[in-house]
């Protein structure tokens, strides 16, 4: 629930700033929005604006700086938007509309593309196909669809209007029609930097169990590109979300339950499974600088709200989890692709984890050969049970 509080708090802050003009706030259909706005990323925009300052965590009497690259980037991207426009943006769930269009309105059979001009389509579809094959024998046999969300879809009124009806249908009446609402939304988007390609419209990625689909927005890819991660970042994005599907197969996690105190565990495990597959030579077969960028991709989406029950793991913990997954794939136990076994090993590792989780310098990891087992120093546990 904390994510909603963050958004609410944000709404209050911007509402105060934009109090000069009376604002119309429509009632949205919470059920339709739940799977979109309970995702790991959906809260990031609100959190970034409300809580995104760098925070300091106490560590054994000292302090350790925690800074989330994704939140710093979102803060920067939103800083040039007028507070009144930002308030309208969130009141009207603009950050969810491209995803709602894909989930509820778009033709299920239409071709999908990823990133602007489809530049990541090939990378995403190839790695997803490999990932499905890799995990198929682990009880995750479903065919998972991939859906790309694009801000540009909102420029087309034939797409926007049915989406608005789906989300706000009960709010329209003769005095305020869906056509007027669509015009207001389009006017606002056209004032944003970059207009329909503004990344705040599509900074999200999630697995929808109801739709059996992974959705990834262009805004997320733009963030990865800004961090120098575009060569393999999209592979991380899709395999991390696929790991959330695997968690349904394990039925230990309810991905719709945003108040779950297991948010951190769920995300770290998804990072670990993603990296296990991406490093494994029967999987993504990444190594050297490429696997290092996977660790950095995981690091980049960590958050620093450690007191928040919806906390998703600090950047350091996210990187540690992905390094742990790759390390397991590199070890003599790499033949284990059984999900239950992986889960119990992950649980052992996780139970010994605190945020001392320290990895070797990531730049040196890229210079190690595949057969060299990397050293993780974290609460002294992983190294012992892995027999390293």
CB of 4 to Zn ion, least distance (A): 18
- Helices 233-250 and 121-135: angle between axes, nearest 10 degrees: 30
- Cα separation of 282 and 115, whole Å? 27
> Of 230 and 267, which CB lies nearer to Zn ion in the complex structure?
267
Residue 343 and residue 138 in contact, taking contact as beta carbons nearer than 8 Å:
no
Q: Are 193 and 81 in contact (CB under 8 A)?
A: yes
Least Å from the CB of residue 325 to Zn ion: 14
Q: Supply 281's token pair.
A: 């030579």
CB-nearer residue toward Zn ion: 14 or 321: 321
Q: Which positions touch Zn ion (CB under 5 A)? A: 40, 267, 270
CA-CA-CA-CA torsion sign (298, 304, 307, 309): negative
Residue number, 165 or 244, with CB nearest to Zn ion: 244
Nearer to Zn ion, 222 or 271 (CB): 271
In the bound complex, what is the minimum distance in angstroms from residue 270's beta carbon to Zn ion? 5
Q: How far apart are the two ends of the chain, measured CA to CA in Å?
A: 40
Smallest CA-to-CA distance from 99 within 49, 5, 34 is with 34
- Taking the complex as a whole, the smallest distance from the CB of residue 117 to Zn ion amounts, in Å, to 26
Minimum CB–partner distance for residue 17 and Zn ion (Å)? 32
Q: Is the CB of 40 or the CB of 292 nearer to Zn ion?
A: 40
Q: How far apart are CA 266 and CA 234, in angstroms?
A: 20
Distances (CA, A) of 126 to 120, 137, 209, 238: 10, 19, 21, 10
CB 29, min distance to Zn ion, A: 24
Please, which residue, 105 or 269, has the CB nearer to Zn ion?
269
Six token digits for residue 236:
């991380």
> Which is nearer to Zn ion, 88 or 206 (by Cβ)?
206
The SS3 of residue 204 is coil
Q: How far is CA 141 from CA 103, 132, 211, in A?
A: 21, 8, 15
For residues 98 and 310, which CB has a smaller minimum distance to Zn ion in the complex? Answer: 310
For residues 97 and 95, what is the distance between their CA atoms, to the nearest angstrom?
A: 6
Minimum separation from the CB atom of position 379 to Zn ion (A):
23
Q: Name the pairing type of β-strands 358-359 and 213-217.
A: unpaired
Q: How far is the CB of 243 from Zn ion (least distance, A)?
A: 8
């Amino acid at each position: 629930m904390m994510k909603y509080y963050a958004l609410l708090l944000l709404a209050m802050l911007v509402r105060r700033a934009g109090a000069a003009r009376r604002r119309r706030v429509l009632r949205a259909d919470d059920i339709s929005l739940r799977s979109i706005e309970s995702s790991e990323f959906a809260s990031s925009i609100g959190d970034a604006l409300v809580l995104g300052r760098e925070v300091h965590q106490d560590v054994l009497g000292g302090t350790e700086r925690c800074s989330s690259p994704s939140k710093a980037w979102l803060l920067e991207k939103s800083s040039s938007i007028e507070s009144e426009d930002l308030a309208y943006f969130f009141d009207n769930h603009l950050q969810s509309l491209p995803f709602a269009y894909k989930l509820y309105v778009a033709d299920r059979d239409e071709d999908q593309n990823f990133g602007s001009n489809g530049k990541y389509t090939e990378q995403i579809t190839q790695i997803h196909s490999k990932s499905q094959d890799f995990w198929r024998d682990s009880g995750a046999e479903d065919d998972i669809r991939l859906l790309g969300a694009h801000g540009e879809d909102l420029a087309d009124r034939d797409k926007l209007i049915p989406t608005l009806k789906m989300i706000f249908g009960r709010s329209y009446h003769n005095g305020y029609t869906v056509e007027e609402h669509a015009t207001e939304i389009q006017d606002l988007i056209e004032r944003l930097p970059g207009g329909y390609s503004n990344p705040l419209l599509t900074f999200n990625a999630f697995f929808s169990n109801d739709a059996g689909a992974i959705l990834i927005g262009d805004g997320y890819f733009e963030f990865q590109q800004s961090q120098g991660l575009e060569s393999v970042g999209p592979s991380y994005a899709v395999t991390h979300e696929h790991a959330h599907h695997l968690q349904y197969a394990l039925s230990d996690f309810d991905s719709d339950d945003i108040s779950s105190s297991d948010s951190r565990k769920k995300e770290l495990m998804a990072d670990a499974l993603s990296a296990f597959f991406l490093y494994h030579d029967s999987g993504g077969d990444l190594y050297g600088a490429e696997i290092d960028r996977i660790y950095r991709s995981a690091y980049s989406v960590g958050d620093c709200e450690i007191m928040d029950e919806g906390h998703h793991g600090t950047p350091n913990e996210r990187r540690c989890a992905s390094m742990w997954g790759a390390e397991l794939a590199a070890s003599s136990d790499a033949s284990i692709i059984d999900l239950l076994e992986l889960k119990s090993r992950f649980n052992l590792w996780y139970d010994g984890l605190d945020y001392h989780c320290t990895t070797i310098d990531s730049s040196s990891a890229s210079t190690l050969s595949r057969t060299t087992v990397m050293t993780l120093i974290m609460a002294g546990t992983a190294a012992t049970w892995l027999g390293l």
